Amino acid sequence: MGKKVVVAGAGLGGLSAALMLKTRGFDVLILEQNRQAGGKAGERIQDGFRWDTGPSLITMPFVIDELFRESGARRQDYLTFEAIDPLCRYFFSGNPCTLDASSNREVMRENLSRFSPEDGKQWNKFLNYTQKLYRLTADLFLYSPIHEIQNLLTFKNLSRLPALFQIDAFRSMHQAVSGYFNDPKIRQVMDRYATYVGADPWKAPATLNIITYVEYGMPAVYIKGGIARLSEALAKRCEEIGVEIRFNTPVREILHNGKKVTGIQTDNDVIPTSVIVANSDAVSTFESLIRGKDKTKKRLTKLEPSLSGLVFFWGIKGTFPQLAHHNIFFADNYRKEFHHLFVTRDISSDLTVYIAVTSKKDPEHAPGGCENWFVLINMPCLSGNQDWDKWVPEIRENVLKKLAESGLDVRENILTESIMDPRDMKTLYSSNKGSIYGISSNTRSTAFRRPANRNRDLKGLYFCGGSSHPGGGVPLVILSGKITAELVSRHERIDK
């Protein structure tokens, strides 16, 4: 039996770390506060309708393939990937009012040309630019523990340092996008990818335009049955190779002697261990679960949280061919919306609305003649002077009005409804101020300020997940778990 590692949280990062640690000979126990695995990548079932609760598509799908392969299995035996076409349907006011995004370069060029022939000609140049960013940054910033000095000082990484001056870190995403495209609607589509990491495109560094490449250039896929099948499959694989998972078991305290971790306190017992992988928000972990580390807590709480969100889970009577699997209804003034999200931390009167309808791919996700609408609106993180009890019904009315103006008046078609707002995200996922992606990516230094995978304050404490390196989103969270497992293997002796 190998050395015991306790993983706090069965999100995608925790499951990834657990798989890799078990294959390296560790004895692994996962503690999960909820009744299902996956964290934000879970599912909700109500009145015959079924929804994913978080991610709705998968970028960099090869990351999942590699994870299964490294655990001794084939992803194809657990999950089916399906292409998405269009990747997303965008709705605007005015004409033309819709744009279908495609991973086919020529089709995408033609679709953009409907808005601006000159901008259509720029598509290949822009995608080549984003591909170059990916090639320059991926190995160092996505696949490596950048907070580990010995890792950065390898010959391979030192040889890459001159190239870092080419990663476009001194412009904002919006400035870079505006250098290629003139049409405001096309700019809005490309700016939108900042929200994949919960950031503001007018503040986030242009380096993050790599997100456009990983969606269009790789490209993105859907998982048959819903994204929650990924969480289910990873949990199954963990148990197949001997990882123990205890659901409905919240961690109440991470125990330590001031220098190193000594165990975990649950509602029922104390679990002794010298290695803990926290698949939880690092800020919330130091705020709520670790005593006596006030200096660290103070430093972490100063970091700006990412966006939060408000979700309406609607069971809709009728089918709507004008909608695709993924849909975005844009606000007219996108920059004003982000000002509300990050500066005044309140709600704009004109909101961007995202709707995912998985019943387009999986009809069984809704009763016959119906659709399951996952309706997401970006929200500010929790802060003082917010009245969510007042805001939520106001936002609901604004969303229904916006959809009606686009020819989708579904006020009388909502058969069932449930709601998740930033307060729920804080409670369900222990996220800092209800943020979805940990700290924001609104500065050039975010990659280095994001909590490290190996904590320096307490020996034996490690972090993985969207709040730690390399960041949020399904593939990065999985990579975070793998990076953390590698660090545990490097720094913790396996008992024989």
pLDDT band at 1 (very low <50, low <70, confident <90, very high): very low
pLDDT band at 155 (very low <50, low <70, confident <90, very high): very low
Quote the CA–CA distance of 275 and 272 in Å, as a whole number: 9
Judgement on whether residues 361 and 405 belong to the same structural domain of the protein: yes
Judgement on whether residues 457 and 398 belong to the same structural domain of the protein: no
Does residue 496 register a pLDDT over 50? no
407: number of Cβ within 10 Å: 10
Would you give the DSSP letter of residue 172?
Answer: B
Quick check: is 232 in a domain?
yes
Does residue 338 register a pLDDT over 50? yes
Judgement on whether residues 357 and 319 belong to the same structural domain of the protein: yes
At which of 405, 429, 453 does a domain end? 429
- pLDDT (0 to 100) of residue 449: 74
Quick check: is 132 in a domain?
yes
Which structural domain range is residue 163 located in? 101-219
Quick check: is 109 in a domain?
yes
Quick check: is 46 in a domain?
no
Which tens digit of pLDDT belongs to each residue from 457-488? 999 999 999 888 888 889 999 999 999 999 99
Mean pLDDT along residues 248-255: 97
The pTM of this model reads: 0.93
Token couple for 401: 């009005």
Judgement on whether residues 422 and 375 belong to the same structural domain of the protein: yes
Quote the CA–CA distance of 87 and 194 in Å, as a whole number: 17
Which tens digit of pLDDT belongs to each residue from 412-463? 999 999 999 999 999 999 899 999 988 888 887 776 678 889 999 999 999 9
Report phi then psi at 36, rounded to 5.
-140, 155
At which of 219, 249, 274 does a domain end? 219
Q: Is residue 474 left, alpha or beta, with left meaning phi > 0 and alpha meaning psi from -120 to 50?
A: alpha
Q: What is the CATH number of the domain that holds 263?
A: 3.50.50.60
Quote the number of domains for the chain: 3
In terms of residues, how long is the chain? 496
Judgement on whether residues 201 and 133 belong to the same structural domain of the protein: yes
Which of 9, 41, 21 minimizes the C-alpha distance to 233? 41
Does residue 156 register a pLDDT over 60? no
Would you give the DSSP letter of residue 39?
Answer: T
At which of 219, 251, 274 does a domain end? 219
Would you give the DSSP letter of residue 341?
Answer: I
Quick check: is 48 in a domain?
no
Percentage of the chain surpassing pLDDT 90?
Answer: 84
Mean pLDDT along residues 58-86: 97
Quick check: is 57 in a domain?
no
Question: DSSP alpha helices (H): ranges in 303-460?
Answer: 334-339, 388-405, 422-429, 446-449
Judgement on whether residues 290 and 342 belong to the same structural domain of the protein: no
Quick check: is 336 in a domain?
yes
Judgement on whether residues 364 and 422 belong to the same structural domain of the protein: yes
Which of 272, 273, 315 minimizes the C-alpha distance to 416? 315
User: Are residues 198 and 338 in contact, defined by beta-carbon separation less than 8 angstroms?
Assistant: no
Dihedral sign (CA 145, 146, 152, 156): positive
> Read out DSSP for 365-400?
GS-TTEEEEEEEEEEPPP-TT--HHHHHHHHHHHHH
- pLDDT (0 to 100) of residue 73: 98
Place of tokens 């913790």: 492
Amino acid at 273: T
Give the Å distances, CA to CA, from 288 to 17, 102, 254, 380, 435.
23, 44, 9, 22, 16
> Read out DSSP for 92-125?
-SSSS-EEEE-SSHHHHHHHHHTT-HHHHHHHHH
Pairing of strands 244-246, 27-31: parallel
Judgement on whether residues 199 and 131 belong to the same structural domain of the protein: yes
Residue, of 230 and 140, whose pLDDT is higher = 230
Pairing of strands 370-379, 308-317: antiparallel
Judgement on whether residues 329 and 407 belong to the same structural domain of the protein: yes
Calculate the average pLDDT of the chain.
93
Judgement on whether residues 213 and 299 belong to the same structural domain of the protein: no
Which tens digit of pLDDT belongs to each residue from 277-287? 999 999 999 99
Contacts by 177-184, CB closer than 8 A, 24 or more apart: 177/126, 177/201, 177/209, 180/119, 180/122, 180/125, 180/126, 180/129, 181/116, 181/119, 181/122, 181/126, 182/116, 182/118, 182/119, 183/115, 183/116, 183/119
- pLDDT (0 to 100) of residue 493: 75
Mean pLDDT along residues 323-351: 96
Judgement on whether residues 256 and 357 belong to the same structural domain of the protein: no
- pLDDT (0 to 100) of residue 163: 61
Judgement on whether residues 199 and 157 belong to the same structural domain of the protein: yes
Does residue 261 register a pLDDT over 50? yes
Quick check: is 82 in a domain?
no
Output b/e per residue, 369-393; b: 16+ Cβ within 10 A: ebbbbbbbbbbbbbeeebebeebbe
